[in-house]
Amino acid sequence: MNNLKQSKKPSKDERKLAMASYSTLANALEEVEISNPEIEIEETGDRIKVPRQALQLLADILQAMGNGQVISIVPIALEMTTQAAAEQLGCSRPHLVKLLEAGEIPFTMVGRHRRVKFEDVMAYKERMQAEREKLLTEMMNEDEEAGLYDS
């Protein structure tokens, strides 16, 4: 499993198979109540216990593949460099440093290098997404009140 970062767009056949597999797996996950369900590899007869979280991740991957999205799985460090955090947020490193210095995202100094926790970066990303959704809803409501939508 050395090629975690290797990604390519799924073919049409892979997309179809992924969507069918996603549907079956999602339904199975709704019925499974234990935290480490046992699955069977039909071709080999091997039975293995898998953490439910791993199966949920597989379902998410299948859904994304079914939608034609490129998938990349990379291990995530608990602490990230500013460059890695900027890439995660989709912004430049200098912009991220401004966010850090403004106190938007907590960070620590290791020598003269800043380090940020992955969970703090994701919390910031979720806050910004919620803020965007809130502002968009407000704009839509204002437009509706102003009669800018057709009935």
- Arithmetic mean of pLDDT, 114-129: 95
Q: Which amino acid is it at 93?
A: R
Residue pointed to by tokens 């057709």: 150
What contacts 16, CB < 8 A, 6 or more positions away? 66
77-99 pLDDT, tens digit per residue, is 689 999 999 999 999 999 999 99
Q: Which domains does the chain have, with CATH numbers?
A: 12-66 (no CATH), 79-145 (1.10.1660)
Q: Is residue 128 very low, low, confident or very high in pLDDT (cuts 50, 70, 90)?
A: very high
Tokens matching residue 31: 């019925």
Tally Cβ neighbours within 10 Å of residue 97: 15
Q: Could you give the CA distance from residue 54 to residue 72 in angstroms, rounded to a whole number?
A: 15
